[in-house]
Amino acid sequence: MPSLQQIIRIGYNKIADTKPFPRFVRRAVEWIVMCRTAALGGHVQACPEGHFERIQYNSCKHRFCPTCAYTSIERWLERQKARILACEHYHVIFTLPGELDRLWRANVREMTELLFQAARDTIFELLADAKYLGVEPGMIIARHTWGQTLVLHPHVHCLVTGGGLTADGHWRAVRNGYLLPGRVVRDLFRGKFLAAARKSLERGKLRVPEGQRPQQILNLFNKLGRKKWNVSIRERYADGSGVLKYLGRYLRGAPISERRIVAWDEKKVRFRYKDNRAGKESGRTEMREMELPIEQFVERLLEHVPGPGHKLVRSYGLYAASRLADLQRCRALLGQPRFEAPEPADWQTCVERAGGNEAGLCPVCGAKLVVREVLTPLRDRPRKLPMRRAA
């Protein structure tokens, strides 16, 4: 079974002394390679009848860890599914052009804010216009920074209600299954993002990449203002659970699943990816394989470790946490019961839903395993991975 944990450990150790990774990335690697090992301690689980015994090591709980993200994602999905409105939803994707990659790398936090803001304001301004619908919708936005081959590809996935609340407090649904005209959305998003980016540059919030001058960035903005940006309004969904599951898939954990790893050794990694360009031309999804040196694979992977405090999923409008009263009103208008936050499922329940047998039951008699012994973290923890300062 491919193990991203092992791939990260081996690949990182080959490049740690030559690549100036930020401290938060180095710390992420340190926790990931220790996840569910004796270094973090654990406990011995045993059948009360003596049929079975095993050691369970503790999880690191780092949000980029591919090993222990499942429970957190399941709890998030459970809450979101319980509160979304019983109406059609739309999946809208806003993508930044590749020409902005250098600026993104130099300003991840600020560019993230600009991207969220431009996507939100575009949808809200158009849907508030009586010409289109004249409502305030609910919206959940998730930031992704990778493409299928793990290269930098900043974009946001948006779950948008197919309708919203009017100024006089009534629900109005989209007309004829039609959310908004794609060209209008694309052009408004481009204008809003570039205007906000110019203002941020003028105020000194955007750092100019090394080797460039502010005027070059302004020239780039002018050039991109004449370019066609990639904004996609996907087909409508009878409810939002399908899109929520897609957003939740990358809420935590690595941007590639172990199922996509075809083969690997200490020198290279081969993995599957969707060729979106070929898919557009043929009208069907094209799956291909790519092989990379393990160092390059890990370097691509670690570029997407979120920085401290980066909030990658946000809710706006009717789905904002501060708008519970309006959400309850909409639920009543749509014939739904009041929203009550579900109790978070314990990890055993989450694993059982996935069909696994890590939930703590004896495989012989089915009795619930009990903790027989607590294993403290090792006194001699593995030497911390190199902590070179970023250049």
Asked if the model's pLDDT at residue 355 lies above 70, the reply is: no
**Which pLDDT belongs to residue 275?**
86
pLDDT tens digit sequence for 264-305: 999 999 999 998 776 555 566 789 999 999 999 999 999 999
Asked if the model's pLDDT at residue 391 lies above 80, the reply is: no
pLDDT bucket at 385, cuts 50 / 70 / 90: very low
Contacts of 13 (CB under 8 A, 6+ apart): 385
Of the candidates 156, 145, 160, the one whose C-alpha atom is nearest the C-alpha of residue 118 is: 156
pLDDT tens digit sequence for 294-309: 999 999 999 999 998 8
* DSSP character string of 243-256: HHHHHHHTTSS-SS
Contacts of 349 (CB under 8 A, 6+ apart): 359
**Which pLDDT belongs to residue 265?**
94
Residues recorded for the chain: 391
Distance CA 280, CA 291 (A): 23
**Which pLDDT belongs to residue 245?**
82
DSSP assignment letter at 178: B
DSSP assignment letter at 37: S
**Which pLDDT belongs to residue 52?**
94
CB 4 within 8 A of CB 38: no
User: What's the half-sphere exposure (Cβ side, CA atoms, 13 Å) at 175?
Assistant: 9
pLDDT tens digit sequence for 11-43: 999 999 998 899 999 999 999 999 989 999 999
Amino acid identity for residue 114 in this structure:
L
* DSSP character string of 150-177: S-EEEEEEEEEESEEE-TTS-EEEPBTT
pTM of the model: 0.89
Give the three-class secondary structure for 92. strand
Asked if the model's pLDDT at residue 120 lies above 80, the reply is: yes
Distance CA 391, CA 389 (A): 6
Using CA atoms of 302, 308, 312, 316 in order, give the dihedral in degrees to the nearest 10: -170
* DSSP character string of 32-86: HHHTTSGGG-EEEEE-TTSS-EEEEEPP---TT-SSS-HHHHHHHHHHHHHHS-S
pLDDT tens digit sequence for 312-354: 999 999 999 999 999 999 999 999 999 998 888 776 676 666 5
How many CB atoms lie under 10 A from the CB of residue 201?
19
